[in-house]
Amino acid sequence: MFDTTVCVIFVNMKNLSTGVKNILGLQLPSDPRWVNLAELELDEILTDHAYCEQKAAITCISLITKNSEKELLVDELSPIVTEEWGHFRMVIAELKKRNLKLGKQRKDVYVNSLIQFQKKDGSPQQRFLDQMLIMALIEARSCERFKRLSEGLDDLYMRNFYRKFMESEAGHYTLFITLAEHYLDKKVVRSRWTEWLKYEKELIQQMELRGDRIH
């Protein structure tokens, strides 16, 4: 299993159950060549990154709207909306520094493929669980990609730029699992998370290696 310890150290782990601590971690690391490809297309990475942050903020707003009766979820995700939108603005500012425009949003093959694994015809509880876990998985993979950029880019400024994002995403992906555990049986959460990790591993193995996408 891929070691996500570097991401996890920024999280207050005492808030997670022992089971969650044991099962957190992607099963397959990104191909090391991805950083080299990304460095050649850093302008494209920034554009894709900006939209990733925008979609994260919008998704959190949607989760709050659909689950307004869940007080803890509303309390915890509300500041995440602000943080993700702040990240969007940070990436936009970096694009402007480089005299670049945001451009059009691209098709996100990774996220669309994850959505196909969601239990769309399950119970409301199953659908809620999958919504939480797909967000946790996206944030976990983002954390891993930001970690690689923060360590593998030649540009010191950009390494530091992406280290900030890595630290933030670490806290995000554990939060979604914590929320799932709060509202649902922990054994059910752990079992389904294991299924998601296996599916994501297979997806990463099959996807084309591209340097112009965060995922």
Where are the chain's structural domains? 34-206
Which one, of 51, 53, 214, lies nearest residue 148 by Cα?
214
34-206 maps to CATH 1.20.1260.10:
yes
Q: At 180, is the pLDDT very low, low, confident or very high (cuts 50, 70, 90)? A: very high
Report pLDDT digits (tens) over 24-79: 578 999 999 999 999 999 999 999 999 999 999 999 999 999 999 999 999 999 99
With 90 as the cut, is the pLDDT of residue 175 above it? yes
Average pLDDT score over residue span 133-147: 93
Q: What is the pTM of this model?
A: 0.88
Instruction: Please enumerate, as own/partner, the contacts of 85-94 that have beta carbons within 8 Å and a separation of 24 or more.
Output: 85/53, 85/54, 85/57, 87/53, 87/56, 87/165, 87/168, 88/50, 88/53, 88/54, 88/57, 91/46, 91/49, 91/50, 91/53, 92/50, 94/46, 94/161
